[in-house]
Amino acid sequence: MMTLLVVASPCALVLSIPSAILVAIAAGARNGILFRGGVAVETLAGVNHFAFDKTGTLTTGELEVSRIETAGLTTADEALAAAAAVAQDSTHPLSRAVVAEAQRRALPPVETRDVVNIPGFGMEARSDAGVLAIGSRRLMEQRGFAVAGYSSSGAEAEVWVARDALLGVIYLRDRLRPATPAVIAALRRAGSSVALVSGDRAAAAERVARASGIEEVHADLTPNEKLEWIQRWRREGKTVAMVGDGINDAPSLTAADVSLGRGARGSDAALAQADVILMHDRIENVPTALRRSRRARRIIRQNLFISLGTVAVLVGCALAQKIKLSLGVVGHEGSTVVVVLNGLRLLRIRPDRNT
């Protein structure tokens, strides 16, 4: 009876899952991948569809002003200074680029107050000269400004500027991350489909998608429209991971089965919703995180097989009185050690050199 009680104790079974999960989390942290708990590891392992934001995720996010087209009511510098005044405290890549260009030109600051973010559209603030608004073409159309006649050819993004009337458009260009095509290819090899969901213009989004190797593109999206796409994919039975870093991505990050945000430059809202945080601004960590989670899942299954198989064999031997207590203890404790050592194999995974 004592032998049966010893060998039937499920110590190895109890350690099968948490040992692998804890090692996976620790191993990820060593390479700049922060999993927020075991659920994130387990869910990411089952992902078969990735949705990527564009600006700052697939691209470098280091936008630069290429040209400024005014409406004739002000100079290019004045339009830029007005936009920078509204954008100065924003973490959005477009805002950072506008502010950086204003600083490079040493433009005098414009005093603003009551800054309000309009998710998916832009921002506005009050100044002594009136209400300043910056953002998308759609925002200007909502405000009743005439937006026809402006050419955005060759620009990745645009920031429209208005103050009681349209002041002009700031055109910006961005660069694709060198590792992006390899990352997308790695995800495809892993059996996952990939889509691009962006609030930017269709031409810019499609250009980045072609260079990245992404076939499914959805552009000119508001945050709610991004959210609707995530929900649609989930209704179709897909397990969806959303990768983004901006405040406009927060709703879709929340709706996805698992979300990945960038810790280096991501907005507070995006990071608050992310289940996995990618440090060091490395998009290469996306397929690495997927590999780690799937390896953890395989090891968990191995551990369950080892622990349950060992218990079944030892209990059978104990019931048949074919095993002594000393051997039962060795078998029981040995299976526990094997399970823990098997989990430690996760520490041996290195980032994928192909990405």
Q: What DSSP character marks residue 241?
A: E
Catalytic site includes residue 174: no
Which tokens go with 61? 């996010």
Which amino acid belongs to residue 44? L
Cα separation of 65 and 222, whole Å? 23
Nearest to 145 by CA among 155, 156, 131, 127: 131
Cα atoms in the 13 Å half-sphere on the side-chain side of 268? 2
Q: List pLDDT tens digits, range 219-267.
A: 988 888 999 999 999 999 999 999 987 666 778 888 999 999 876 555 5
The DSSP line for 294-308 is HHHHHHHHHHHHHHH
Question: What was the pLDDT predicted at 268?
Answer: 59
How far is 161 from 192, CA to CA, in rounded Å?
40
Q: How many residues does the chain have?
A: 355
The pLDDT, as a whole number, for residue 343 is: 80
Structural domains present in the chain: 46-59+177-281 (3.40.50.1000), 64-173 (3.40.1110.10)
What are the start-end ranges of the H helices in 195-284?
202-212, 223-235, 250-255, 268-273
Tokens (6 digits) for 352: 């994928």
CB atoms within 10 A of CB 158: 20
Q: How far from the centroid of its chain's Cα atoms is residue 189's Cα?
A: 19
pLDDT of amino acid 162: 93
Arithmetic mean of pLDDT over the chain: 85
pLDDT of residue 304: 86
pLDDT tens digits in sequence order for the chain, 355 residues long: 666 666 666 777 777 788 889 888 988 888 889 999 899 999 999 999 999 998 888 988 788 898 899 988 889 999 999 999 999 988 888 898 999 999 999 999 888 989 999 888 899 999 888 899 999 888 999 988 888 878 766 677 889 999 989 999 999 888 889 999 999 999 999 999 999 999 887 888 898 999 999 999 999 888 889 999 999 999 999 999 999 876 667 788 889 999 998 765 555 555 677 889 988 778 999 999 999 999 999 998 888 888 888 777 777 777 777 777 777 677 767 777 888 887 888 777 665 554 4
Q: Which two tokens stand for residue 287?
A: 């397929």
CA dihedral 118, 123, 125, 130 (to 10 degrees): -110
193-197 and 258-262 beta bridge pairing: unpaired
Distance (Å, rounded) from C-alpha 172 to C-alpha 167?
Answer: 16
Q: Sign of dihedral through CA atoms 141, 207, 46, 183?
A: negative
pLDDT reported for residue 270:
55
β-strands 165-173, 157-163 pairing: antiparallel
212, 58 in Cβ contact below 8 A?
yes
DSSP 3-state assignment of 110? coil
Number of H helices, E strands in the chain: 13, 13
Among candidate residues 53, 174, 245, 275, the one labeled active-site is 53
**CB atoms < 10 A from the CB of 68, how many?**
20
pLDDT in tens, 292-309: 999 999 998 888 888 888
Q: What is the pLDDT of residue 355?
A: 47
End-to-end CA distance of the chain: 56
In tens, the pLDDT along 63-79 reads: 889 889 998 888 999 99
Question: CA 269 to CA 246: how far, in whole Å?
Answer: 7
pLDDT value for 281: 78
* Strand arrangement, sheet containing 240-244: 33-35, 276-278, 258-262, 240-244, 49-52, 193-197, 216-218
pLDDT value at residue 203: 83
Beta bridge partner(s), residue 260: 243, 276
